[in-house]
Amino acid sequence: MTLPFELTTMPEQALDILRYMGRIQVDNIHADALMNGLGMSERSFSKGIKRLVTKSYMAMDEARYYRVTQKGYQAIEDINAYDATAPADAGKHYAVLAYDLCAVVPLPRAINQSARWLIGLEPDPMEMEAISEPTPILLRVSANGGEVSPAELTMTLTPETPSQFAELNLTAYQTPMRLRVEVFQLMEMNEPYVSGGMYFDVEVSTSSQQRALHTTISVAQI
């Protein structure tokens, strides 16, 4: 048996957290108790739990209590089945890097007036590893209540240029308008794998202020 592809892109710390949650079978657990029970360093725990929350395998409340989601329980079943049937060295596990998806958006000054904005990717400051080979990324942008061009663009992250940004045009037909950014990593045969994305609203305003929005996505090293 093999793991579902998304689980193969998760850091080992994330899989160990899910294994542990499957063993202790509690409704929720505080971050400190979870980290101590795992015997992980704070940095390793942070890397694993952050990816699990980002990918909706676990959820956290304001008091830093974590619980496993329905998606997480299915992942625990998949991991347990894999562990029971696969040799220790079997299966392909991809190294995964955390990347920051950043959008720098000016407020359009008027309806039907074009404004330029930036979208890009750069290594997450908490990421300990660096990208090791050229990695093509597809960004797909759509607007509800407006128009964005280009609607698709491709970036190639490399060891020499691990950060990439591009300029787009934004035209609002109403206020607010909602933008959706989807990020795909182009795998073998250019098959797209969902790396993450974001939604945000843009207001039409006479202000010259800009907004910088951030979210974390995952980039697998094939």
Question: What digits encode the pLDDT tens for the residues 156-171?
Answer: 999 999 999 999 999 9
Say whether pTM exceeds 0.75. no
User: Per the structure block, which two tokens stand in for 6?
Assistant: 């998304």
H/E run at residue 46: helix 42-54
Classify domain 95-221 by CATH number.
Answer: 2.60.40.10
Q: How confident is the model at residue 220 (pLDDT cuts 50, 70, 90)?
A: confident
Provide the pLDDT for residue 89: 46
Q: What is the mean pLDDT of residues 194-204?
A: 86
Q: Which of these ranges, 52-56, 103-107, 137-141, 151-155, has the smallest mean pLDDT? A: 103-107
Q: Percent helix, strand and coil across the chain, each rounded to 5?
A: 25, 40, 30
Q: Where are the domains of the chain?
A: 5-85, 95-221
Topology alike, domains 5-85 and 95-221: no
Taking a C-beta distance cutoff of 8 angstroms, is the pair 68, 90 a contact? no
Convert the pLDDT of each residue in 2-47 to its tens digit. 788 888 888 889 999 999 999 898 899 999 999 988 888 888 899 8
Number of DSSP helices (H) and strands (E) in the chain, helices first? 5, 12
Share of the chain above pLDDT 90, in %: 47
Q: Given CATH 1.10.10.10, say whether it is the number of domain 5-85.
A: yes
Q: How many C-beta atoms surround the C-beta of residue 140 within 10 A?
A: 16
